[in-house]
Amino acid sequence: MFRKMKIQSILLFVVFALMSSIAFGKGDRNEALSYFFLKKTNFTLEQSIQQLEQENKGKVVSARVKMNDELQLFELKRIENDIVMEILIDPITKKVVEASTDGIFSRYNDSEDRTAAIDAKISLLKAMEIVKGQYDGLIVRASFSNKNLQGYYRIHTVTNQGGSMILVDGDSGETFKDVRNEKKGHRSKKGHY
C-alpha cells in the first residue's frame, strides 16, 4: 500500500513537472508546481495568514508556497515585538509545523524595513485581497518591500498561462502590474521577475 502511494506520488510529480515545463519553461517550475498544488488544496495562503494573525499578535509581512522534494508548506514571516519569526504551516493539517526566528540575512532584520512593514497602512492580507479582486490567478508568493522610503507589497500570481508580479502601494493600496517582468516562460538573468 505504501509503495503504491509512493509510486503514485512520483508519477504525479513527473506529470506536473512536465506540464510545468510546457506551460512555464524550466525556470518557472516552482511557480507552476505551486499553482498545481494550490489548485488541489482547500487551504490558501490568505487563509493561513488569517489563521496566524487570529492566533498570534504581530503582523505577517511575507507568505509563499515553499516547495521541497516531498513536502509543500506555507512559509510565513511575522514581525512581533521587533522580532522576525519564520513560521511553516502544513496546508493539509492547517497546523504550524515549525516556528523559528528568521535568519540574519533576512531583509526584515534591517530596522528601517521592519518599521516600514509594521507602519504600512494596509496589511499583506489586504494587499492580497486587492490583487485577487483586480487580477486573475492564484497567489503563490507575497511580501513587503521597502525601497527609497516607499513601502509596497510584491504579489506574485500564476495562471496556467504563466505568472505576473503586481505591486501594491503599502499606504494607498494602488496597484501596478509590472509588465516589463511579465513571465513568459523564463526568468531574468538575475533569476528574478
pTM exceeds 0.85, yes or no: no
pLDDT score at 190? 37
Closest to 159 (Cα-Cα) out of 139, 184, 137, 182: 137
Model confidence pLDDT, tens digit, residues 95-106: 998 888 865 555
Closest to 164 (Cα-Cα) out of 181, 152, 176: 181
Model confidence pLDDT, tens digit, residues 21-41: 444 443 367 777 888 888 888
Count of residues for the chain?
193
pLDDT score at 133? 93
pLDDT score at 104? 53
Nearest-angstrom CA–CA distance, 65 and 73: 6
> CB burial class (10 A; 0-12, 13-18, 19+) of residue 75?
middle
pLDDT score at 84? 84
Contact between 34 and 45 (Cβ < 8 Å): no
Q: What is the CATH number of domain 2-181?
A: 3.10.450.40
One-letter amino acid for residue 91 of the chain: P
Which helix (H) or strand (E) covers residue 150, if one does?
Answer: strand 150-159
- 187 to each of 24, 65, 166, 178, 193, how far by Cα in Å? 10, 18, 16, 14, 6
Helix or strand or coil: residue 76? strand
The residue among 141 and 16 whose pLDDT is bigger is 141
